Amino acid sequence: MHALYAQLGLSGDAVYLGNSLSDCVNALAIALLTFVALILIRRQVLVRTRRLLGMDLPRSIRLVIDIVATTRRFVLLAVSLLVGAKFLDLGLHIEHRVDAFIATLVLLQIGIWLSAVVRFYLDTQALDTSNRSVQSVVTIARFLANTVIWSLVLLLALDNMGFQVKPLLAGLGIGGIAVALAVQNVLGDLLASVAIALDKPFEVGDALTLDGGYTGTVETIGIKSTRLTSNTGEQIVISNAELVKARVRNFGRLQQRRAIMRFGIAYNNKADGLADIPRLLSTAVSHHQNARFERAHCVGFSAAAIDFEATYVVMSADYTVFLNVQHAINLEFARSLEACGIVFAAAQPLVAAKI
């Protein structure tokens, strides 16, 4: 070894940071061997666990596999350097700096592990349920959890490196108020997304009608906005804060649809024929198994017609089914009126008022 040092123009008795060159080389060799050993162990664990991916494993085993997979090489290098540094006398000042640097890397890895744990449990919850809104809740919960985790990691890392965290927190508190005022719309949307996730007024796939005449099917519920696909195909993007304040008609939870018929009968029809109108409509509705007749009444006398109002229920939330049943009932009812000699009131032409 001394001959090698001589060929390199180095002295084995030379002192670097209070340690001889031989001690430095030995410590570096130990650190490299430790790093290579940790890399090989991690690789073998990953190779063996990949063979188990298709198997039905307990949740705890799958969590361990995810944690191993998210272990980064830089933390293995940090542990290796820490092991090698134990064979050197670096002094209290340098040892403190080395320990702080390595602890910061370890904190970073801990943050990655915690994020992996949160992602694992949230994804598992999403797979265990068929609720269509779970995905949006998972997205919001993951964002909030990662924000908390990495905020704590940052504060601990700064404290570990010698920064005064308490004055920093006080400054962040004052600055946070200014930032909150500047981004209050974004924070409002974020809190609104949490309210939507907890209250669940609608879910992905529900058909909504909003204030302003906007109608569409919920495509995604994001952190800042909700996206709907309109009936004509374009995408409608509305902020969550506005959506929470708006009046929302949710047709996604509709189980049946009610049809309201308003029509006028001409005055020259006989009264006995008018009395048969509820029966004729009830008969037309009863010919459909998924329709239920409710009522039909003469509700008044206008200048142009005898006014009737009737309602029936279609036992289906599907709008196409509703239209098909309504179409068939209307035609059958019109034929029944025609067979009985009952005539609808003619529409009166519009006449311009004379001034």
CA-to-CA distance for 46 and 71, rounded, in angstroms? Answer: 10
Residue ranges making up the domain that contains 209: 189-250
| Listed residues 124, 157, 182: the one ending a domain | 182
Indicate if 55 and 97 belong to the same structural domain: yes
CA-to-CA distance for 229 and 250, rounded, in angstroms? Answer: 14
Indicate if 47 and 174 belong to the same structural domain: yes
Q: What is the pLDDT along the chain (355 residues), one digit of tens a residue?
A: 445 444 445 554 555 556 666 777 777 888 888 888 888 887 877 777 666 655 666 777 777 777 777 878 877 888 887 777 777 766 666 667 777 777 888 888 888 888 888 888 777 766 655 555 566 667 777 777 888 888 888 888 877 777 776 666 666 655 555 555 555 677 777 778 778 877 788 888 888 888 877 888 888 888 788 889 987 888 989 888 888 888 888 887 778 888 999 999 999 888 888 899 999 999 999 999 889 999 999 999 988 899 999 999 999 888 888 899 999 999 999 999 999 989 998 754 434 433 3
Domain-embedded: residue 219: yes
DSSP string, 97-137: HHHHHHHHHHHHHHHHHHHHHHHHHHHHHHHT---TTHHHH
Domain-embedded: residue 345: no
Q: Give the Å distances, CA to CA, from 58 to 61, 81, 185.
A: 5, 35, 43
pTM: 0.47
Q: Could you tell me the CATH number of the domain that includes residue 205?
A: 2.30.30.60
Domain-embedded: residue 144: yes
Domain-embedded: residue 245: yes
Q: Could you tell me the CATH number of the domain that includes residue 321?
A: 3.30.70.100
Indicate if 129 and 200 belong to the same structural domain: no
Which tokens is 344 given? 């609808």
The number of domains in the chain is 3
* Helix 59-69 × helix 21-50 angle, to 10°: 140
Sequence length of the chain is 355
Indicate if 32 and 58 belong to the same structural domain: yes
Q: Give the Å distances, CA to CA, from 210 to 207, 234, 249.
A: 10, 16, 6
| Listed residues 138, 167, 182: the one ending a domain | 182
CA-to-CA distance for 146 and 150, rounded, in angstroms? Answer: 6
CA-to-CA distance for 235 and 229, rounded, in angstroms? Answer: 5
Domain-embedded: residue 350: no
Domain-embedded: residue 353: no
Indicate if 223 and 269 belong to the same structural domain: no
Domain-embedded: residue 81: yes
CA-to-CA distance for 12 and 14, rounded, in angstroms? Answer: 6
Element (H, E) at 185: helix 184-199
Domain-embedded: residue 352: no
